[in-house]
Amino acid sequence: MVGRVETPRPRQNISSAANLLVSGWAGDTSANGWAGISGVEVWNGLKDRGTKLSTGTVGLARPDVSEALGPNLANSGFTAIVPASTLKDIPAGGLVLNVYILTPGHGSYLRPVGVNLQVIPPLAYPQDPVVGIIKPQDGTAITQKQTNAKFTFSGFALDRNPITNPANQTLGPGCSGCAGARGSIGTQARGAGIASILANIDTPLPTRGDNSPLGLFGTPCTSCLYGVPLVSNKGVLNVPGAPQGSIITRSYGSQFDFAGWSVSLNPQLLSPGWHTLYVTATSSITGRQNLTSVTFNVLDMTHNKIQP
């Protein structure tokens, strides 16, 4: 019997909150014309005495093994996925994964690998992100006649759960192509725990690739969509496309002082009557999405002021 477990590596830290890939290669040198492997199982404890964590797949192509050890081992690869739902029931600390390679006539062969299981505590705020619309309020009337033909929608979004990976979660999508008097926008989503905000009118989700004014609010910048407002805890108040401040979010903690967003639209692009603004926030901590909406009334050009 030849082979090895390639992932996970010995003493590797693994998380109980994520699925675990177990993979490698194995072969029975007495087999003729194939690798001689009929199955793979991953156990916590000994086979048929402990707990089986996963049943995997064998017969995967491994040209590197074939080149080194001969054509019989061309399909000697194996993989198994240990689900996070299984790992969460195992105490944190050292864990020996017993990988059993099964053969049709020669029994099974054991390849143990020791890892360090890290149990991730439950989220303090499992329902986050929080997303809100400040302007307009529900039922507000907006006239098509606006200064500079522009009306600004604004709100806030944040995830109160601790940021666990600063390299990933303190930098949002940014907008490297949007440069101007205020310079490039490069520090989005810092501290707010938000990866992106998606705003749409009259539909919760846009048609994929829709850049029309009523889908993603148009493309004022050639390299980014202001219909994906950017969120940060550092920047300028009430400037679409730039980091946004929000007084409301101070109640969640000073680290969220700049968890606001805003996006502008020419209301003349909307027909007079009632419309709904949908805003979806995506957490950079969990990937969870939450949606909120507000309904507003567009008045035609004969109205000079927003009516109550």
270 and 146 within one domain: yes
280 and 145 within one domain: yes
283 and 148 within one domain: yes
212 and 68 within one domain: no
111 and 136 within one domain: no
Can you give the residue range of the structural domain that contains 207? 130-299
CATH code, domain with 24 = 2.60.40.650
pLDDT at 287 over 50: yes
- Which of 118, 145, 179 is the last residue before a domain boundary? 118
159 and 103 within one domain: no
80: which strand partners?
A: 22
Confidence band of 244 (pLDDT split at 50, 70, 90): low
73 and 7 within one domain: yes
Tokens 């090895």, located at residue: 4
Give 176 or 13, the one with higher predicted confidence. 13
Q: What's the CA gap between 35 and 210, in Å, rounded?
A: 50
Q: For 159-168, what is each residue's pLDDT tens digit?
A: 888 765 544 4
Mean pLDDT of the chain: 78
Q: What is the pLDDT of residue 206?
A: 55
136 and 53 within one domain: no
163 and 86 within one domain: no
Q: What's the CA gap between 180 and 184, in Å, rounded?
A: 7
pLDDT at 67 over 80: yes
Would strands 260-265 and 108-118 be described as parallel, antiparallel, or unpaired?
unpaired
Dihedral pair phi/psi, residue 298, rounded to 5°: -95, 125
Q: What is the pLDDT of residue 219?
A: 35
Q: Looking at the domain assignment, is residue 166 inside a domain?
A: yes
Q: What is the pLDDT of residue 139?
A: 92
Q: What is the pLDDT of residue 254?
A: 73
Q: How many domains are contained in the chain?
A: 2
Give 248 or 230, the one with higher predicted confidence. 248
Is residue 3 packed enough to be buried (19+ CB in 10 Å), middle (13-18) or exposed (0-12)?
A: buried
Q: What is the pLDDT of residue 61?
A: 95
What percent of the residues of the chain are helix, what percent strand, and what percent coil, each to the nearest 5? 10, 40, 50
Q: What is the pLDDT of residue 226?
A: 33
67 and 25 within one domain: yes
pLDDT at 298 over 80: yes
Determine the 3-state secondary structure of 84 from DSSP: helix
Q: What is the pLDDT of residue 306?
A: 64
143: which strand partners?
A: 299
Q: Which of 39-48, 220-229, 277-286, 298-307 has the lowest mean pLDDT?
A: 220-229
Q: What is the pLDDT of residue 122?
A: 78
Give 82 or 253, the one with higher predicted confidence. 82
Q: What is the mean pLDDT of residues 213-231?
A: 37
Q: What is the pLDDT of residue 216?
A: 39
Element (H, E) at 183: none
% pLDDT > 70, the chain = 76
Q: Looking at the domain assignment, is residue 123 inside a domain?
A: no
Q: Edge-to-edge strand order for the sheet containing 289-299?
A: 141-143, 289-299, 273-283, 194-201
- Which of 94, 118, 142 is the last residue before a domain boundary? 118
Q: What is the pLDDT of residue 203?
A: 76
Q: Are 296 and 142 a contacting pair, CB within 8 Å?
A: yes
Torsion sign (Cα): 82, 87, 93, 98: negative
Q: For 167-204, what is each residue's pLDDT tens digit?
A: 444 433 444 433 332 332 333 434 577 777 777 888 77
Q: Which of 126-140, 244-258, 261-275 has the lowest mean pLDDT?
A: 244-258
pLDDT at 54 over 90: yes
pTM for the predicted model, two decimal places? 0.55
Q: What is the pLDDT of residue 279?
A: 85
